[in-house]
């Protein structure tokens, strides 16, 4: 992000979302990262009309963080409808989910692991077993 005003605005929104953290908490930075992620998820869910939580929202976040829309902070703070090109690029970059696995498409195969006892049975003369 190159615009310091947008960075400041994003930081302020993230800090407003931060809950009151007790002094003995592990990491305030971790809480800030979580709050920033929730801010992005809220924006993506609203702008792209995606259910929350969903695999589509996760794919949208991955596309956003991949850098396909370097001007996403501008789109985040733009009035509704003004971020059309950034959202279209983002929609185009979202990976389509793979089809769900079909149940029992192939018969279950038995896995035969190496067995030392089985190997000894094959090598041992059959006349001794009788």
Q: Is the pTM of this model over 0.95?
A: no
State yes or no: pLDDT of 23 exceeds 70. Answer: no
- Percentage of the chain beyond pLDDT 90 is 0
Backbone φ and ψ for 83, nearest 5 degrees, come out as -105, 30
Per-residue burial over 9-38, b if 16 or more Cβ lie within 10 Å, else e, is ebeebbeeeeeeeeeeeeeeeebbeebbee
Span 80-123, pLDDT tens digits: 677 778 888 888 888 887 777 677 677 778 887 777 777 788 78
pLDDT of res. 94: 86
State yes or no: pLDDT of 7 exceeds 60. Answer: yes
d(CA 92, CA 70): 14
């Amino acid at each position: 992000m190159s615009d310091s005003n947008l960075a400041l605005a994003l930081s302020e929104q993230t800090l407003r979302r931060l809950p009151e953290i007790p002094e003995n908490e592990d990491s305030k930075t971790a809480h800030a990262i979580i709050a920033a992620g929730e801010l992005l998820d809220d924006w993506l869910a609203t702008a792209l009309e995606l259910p929350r939580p969903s695999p589509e929202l996760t794919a949208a976040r991955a596309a956003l963080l991949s850098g396909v829309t370097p001007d996403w902070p501008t789109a985040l703070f733009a009035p509704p409808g003004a971020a059309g090109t950034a959202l279209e690029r983002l929609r185009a970059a979202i990976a389509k989910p793979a089809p769900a696995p079909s149940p029992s498409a192939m018969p279950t195969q038995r896995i035969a692991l190496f067995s030392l006892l089985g190997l000894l049975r094959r090598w041992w003369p059959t006349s001794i077993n009788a």
